[in-house]
A and B are shown apart, each in its own frame.
Chain A
Amino acid sequence: MGIDVKRDACVGAGQCALVAPDVFDQDDDGIVMLLQTDPEGADLTAATKAERLCPARAITVTAR
């Protein structure tokens, strides 16, 4: 799997869904949800950006 999210660390800030809307969404409480686990190309680049911006460091991209 290329992406891991720690839902218990997520603070619902929504950086991920803003910079990578095809990879991340938020549930009704704002907690991150993965829309795909193995993004490629532009989605992977965006997911990496989200990883870096996430203020809770709740996102880990393992496939680089």
Chain B
Amino acid sequence: MTRAPRVVVVGASIGGVTAAETLRREGFDGEIVLLGDERHRPYLRPPLSKQILLGEWEPDQASTHTVAQAEELDVELRTSCTARGLDVAGRVVRTSQGDLAYDELIVATGSEPRRHPLLPMALTLRTLEDALALRDGLRSAHRVAVVGAGVLGSEIASAARKHEADTLLLGRSGTLTLGGVGTLLSDRLARLHEDHGVELDLRAEIVGAESGLDGTRIELADGRIELVDLVVAMIGATPRTRWLDSSTLTIADGVVCDRGGSAAPGVSAVGDVAAWVDPFTGRPSRVEHQSNAIEQAIAVALRIARGELGTQPVPLFWSEVHGTRIHAYGWFDPERPLVEAAGDPGIQSGTSATDSAVLLSRDDTDRVRGAIGWNAPPRDFRAARAAVLRTPELITH
């Protein structure tokens, strides 16, 4: 081979950007091509449902880099470039701009919102375009239905209330979920929504919907009809692996990888699209959090640049709902209720702020596996994080 080694990164968002940047900073001096199908420079998604929806930020403020910073990185960025196929044995990616040979490939194509089969008129939220359309919709809407009781449903309901729209949050399972914390915070979240005037209906079975001049009529199984002028559906996301269907990679709700992010010789995957083997369950599973994408990308880049085997990231997740900041660190067993850290010496300093708490998830040997900060004083949450880190399994691999 006469050319310099080339790493191709597919997907130019936080996972892909962090991988490219880390490779460069860790001394990889070959070629780096970062390609993505969006037409924008890479941007962050978390502000889309927060600062952008509320109109507090201009789109540019969500960019991962300034133009000057991007130039300094010496990465070839190809926007509006779609990967369409992969030849694992031949180490070639097929793209809308031609074939591209690689020595190492990093798959970072993320995930996309699932469409609600009965709500073709519903808006959804993944991209900057989606966020601007939704922001404009919220500005003029009087009554909004948010379908989906996950964290993004909660954040959008919160944005709708800030826009002073009457807001209905519809779920099916009876509970509200929040990322890796699952349903453990459901009651607290429900109270928070009710305190902020959100109408909650968590057992709503949608049976049909129709759009007319006066808005959209959502028909529920119990015969009720809800008339709203904006519907948003946030019912989960599916990994963007269709372009890999004809490749030899193992795809099973994501690109299946080992504990270090390898999917096949010369192929790694990071972020929302990647299903790394979970250290506790031994099963491949996806984690859809910003920090997970960042830490997986760092681990893979260190392996490629220096041959170092990284460590499995500890999940860290945050959200903001009606101004309440929620942070979750570690692993949460859905079967075990959370316990307040208050009284746990060394974790809670005993603040009395209203609606503030540090909550812990303990395993059956009483070790702290996960910690949640609910508007928590930062020092207390950091102390709780340190307690999670003392879990022995995390240190041994």
Question: Footprint of B on A, CB under 8 Å?
Answer: 9, 11-15, 17-18, 26-30, 48, 52-53, 55-57, 60
Residues of A within 8 A of B316 (CB): 13, 15, 55
Bound state CA distance, A18 and B316, in angstroms?
A: 13
CB distance from B250 to the nearest CB of A (A): 29
Q: How far is the CA of A27 from the CA of B378 in the complex (A)?
A: 8
**Contact between B21 and A14 (Cβ–Cβ < 8 Å)?**
no
Q: Could you tell me if B21 and A52 are in contact, using CB atoms closer than 8 angstroms?
A: yes
* Chain A residue at minimal CB-CB distance from B385: A18
Which B residues, 153 to 204, have Cβ-Cβ distances below 8 Å to chain A? none
Instruction: Return chain B residues, CB-CB under 8 Å to A57.
Output: 44, 64
Contact of B378 among A9, A30, A53 (CB under 8 A): A30
Please indicate the chain A residues that have their CB under 8 angstroms from the CB of B378 in the complex.
12, 14, 17, 26-28, 30
Given A11-B46, A14-B378, A14-B381, 14 more pairs with CB closer than 8 A: A11-B320, A11-B325, A13-B316, A14-B385, A15-B316, A17-B378, A26-B378, A28-B377, A28-B378, A30-B381, A52-B22, A52-B25, A52-B298, A53-B291
Query: Chain B interface residue count: which class?
Result: 20 to 34
Q: List 18 A-B contacts (CB under 8 A).
A: A9-B47, A11-B320, A11-B325, A12-B318, A13-B291, A13-B316, A14-B382, A14-B385, A17-B378, A18-B385, A26-B378, A28-B377, A52-B21, A52-B294, A52-B298, A53-B294, A53-B295, A55-B291
Inter-chain contacts of B44 with A (CB < 8 A): 56-57
- Report whether B22 and A12 are in contact in the complex, using a CB–CB cutoff of 8 Å: no
Cβ–Cβ contact B325 & A12, under 8 A: yes
A8: min CB distance to chain B, Å: 8
Q: How far is the CB of B277 from chain A (nearest CB, A)?
A: 22
Give Cα A27 to B295, complex, Å: 25
Bound-state Cα–Cα, A26 to B318, Å: 16
The A/B interface has a contact count, at CB < 8 Å, of: 56
* A55, B290: Cβ atoms closer than 8 Å: yes
* A56:B18 contact, CB within 8 angstroms: no
Main secondary structure of the interface of A (DSSP, over half): loop
Cα–Cα, bound, A55→B64 (Å): 11
Smallest Cβ distance from A22 to chain B, in angstroms? 14
Chain B residues with CB under 8 A of A53: 291, 294-295, 298
A30 in contact with B46 given A14-B382, A52-B294 (CB within 8 Å): no
Indicate if the CB atoms of A12 and B294 lie closer than 8 Å. Answer: no
Q: Which residues of A contact B381 (CB under 8 A)?
A: 14, 30
Cβ-defined contact, A15 with B318, below 8 A: no
Within 8 Å of chain A (Cβ to Cβ): is B327? yes
- Rounded to whole Å, the gap between the CB of B129 and the closest CB of chain A is 21
| Given contacts A26-B378, A57-B44, A13 and B295 within 8 Å (CB-CB) | no
Determine if B248 is an interface residue (Cβ-Cβ < 8 Å). no
Are B325 and A52 touching (Cβ within 8 A)? no
Query: Which residue in chain A gives the minimum CB-CB distance to B289?
Result: A55
Q: Which residue of A is nearest B292, CB measured?
A: A55
Nearest B-chain residue to A32, judged by Cβ: B378
The answer for the CA separation of A11 and B18 in the assembled complex, in Å, is 18
Docked-complex contact B46 and A17, CB < 8 angstroms: no
Residue in chain A with minimal CB distance to B313: A53
Bound CA–CA A40/B103 (angstroms): 36
**Docked complex Cα distance between A14 and B382 (Å):** 7
With A18-B385, A30-B378 in contact, is A12–B327 under 8 Å at CB?
yes
Smallest CB–CB gap between A45 and chain B, Å?
12
In the complex, which residue of chain B has the Cβ closest to the Cβ of A57? B64
Which residues of B sit under 8 angstroms from A27, Cβ to Cβ?
A: 378
B391 located at the interface, meaning its Cβ lies under 8 Å from any Cβ of chain A in the complex: no
CB of B318 within 8 A of CB of A13, answer yes
**Are B22 and A55 in contact, CB atoms less than 8 angstroms apart?**
no
B292 to chain A, nearest CB (A): 9
Bound-state Cα–Cα, A19 to B224, Å: 53
